[in-house]
Amino acid sequence: MEGKVSASILRIEGVNIYCEYILNGKPPIILIHGFVSSTYTFNRIIPLLKEHFSILALDLPGFGRSEKSTSFVYSYHNYAKLVVKCMEFFGLTNVTIVGHSMGGQIALYTAKLIPEKVKKLILLGSSGYLKSANKLLVYSSYLPLFNLFVKRTVNNRSVKESLRNVFYNASKITEDHIREFERPLKDKNFCKSLIRLLRHREGDLTSEELKEIQTPTLLIWGEDDAVVPLSVGKRLARDLPNAELITYKETGHLITDERPHEITNHIFSHHYSGIAAQ
């Protein structure tokens, strides 16, 4: 229904995927969140985007309201395949993909997988150039007590403390933020899925692979990002053949919360660059 956010659980590739969507006949945009996050990442920009786009936002397996599967292979390639399957389910093509943090890397993998169906990319504080976990750590993850170690590590750091790391202005942290970011941590299989992500996540795309992605890309960064520094954005801007970098002062990693109106305007402008606005 136009203007109203709908929500569904889809069974895709053997995993339950939580999706929020608005299908209104307007150009499609897909929103992909980052590590230990959810569709809530985009809660401040969805109401603004729906004026211009059909919207699909999904919780990646292991996070948010999606299944914390203990059988899914948590690789970027498989995450990208799930994005493609969701696109097919909703009949979306010629999409603009917005990816935040780790979601930016998944957006890049998706564009690499189906370049003919991805019109534009917008990467918000995107991860980049990270290697896969070292083999010793991967081997250690199979030890019987490793799950307890991860659970203790997760539980020992408060959600509010973690949120302070992603905001430039910590006074913007609300009870809603704490509740939504805390939600997946309560799932009994969360730590198990986190360990599987550690094992399966291949490294980020290399400079050589990035140079092959021709999709027009807009990079948006907070200059005070303490999670993914601006230097990563500058390097991505050099490696991606068709990229532009925009930065904001006094802005941290959760740029969707701190600069929602600016981001929405940039998404709209980037989507329609080179074509007449519809």
**C-alpha angle 223-242-263 in degrees, rounded to nearest 5:** 40
Contact between 78 and 101 (Cβ < 8 Å): no
Helices (H) and strands (E) in the chain, counts: 12, 8
State yes or no: is 266 an active-site residue. Answer: no
Whole-angstrom CA distances from 247 to 113, 156, 192, 218, 266 are 28, 33, 36, 11, 11
Q: Measure the CA–CA gap between 256 and 264, rounded to whole angstroms.
A: 9
Kindly report the backbone phi and psi dihedral angles of residue 48, in degrees, each rounded to the nearest multiple of 5, phi listed first: -85, -35
Looking only at the bridges linking them, the beta strands covering 15-22 and 54-58 are antiparallel
State yes or no: is 253 an active-site residue. Answer: yes
Catalytic residue chosen out of the listed positions 101, 126, 127, 193 = 101
How many angstroms from the chain centroid is the CA of residue 243? 18
Catalytic residue chosen out of the listed positions 52, 100, 200, 253 = 253
Q: Measure the CA–CA gap between 197 and 189, rounded to whole angstroms.
A: 12
Q: Measure the CA–CA gap between 20 and 6, rounded to whole angstroms.
A: 6
Provide the 3-class DSSP secondary structure of residue 167: coil
Whole-angstrom CA distances from 41 to 99, 121, 268 are 10, 17, 18
Known catalytic residues are 101, 253
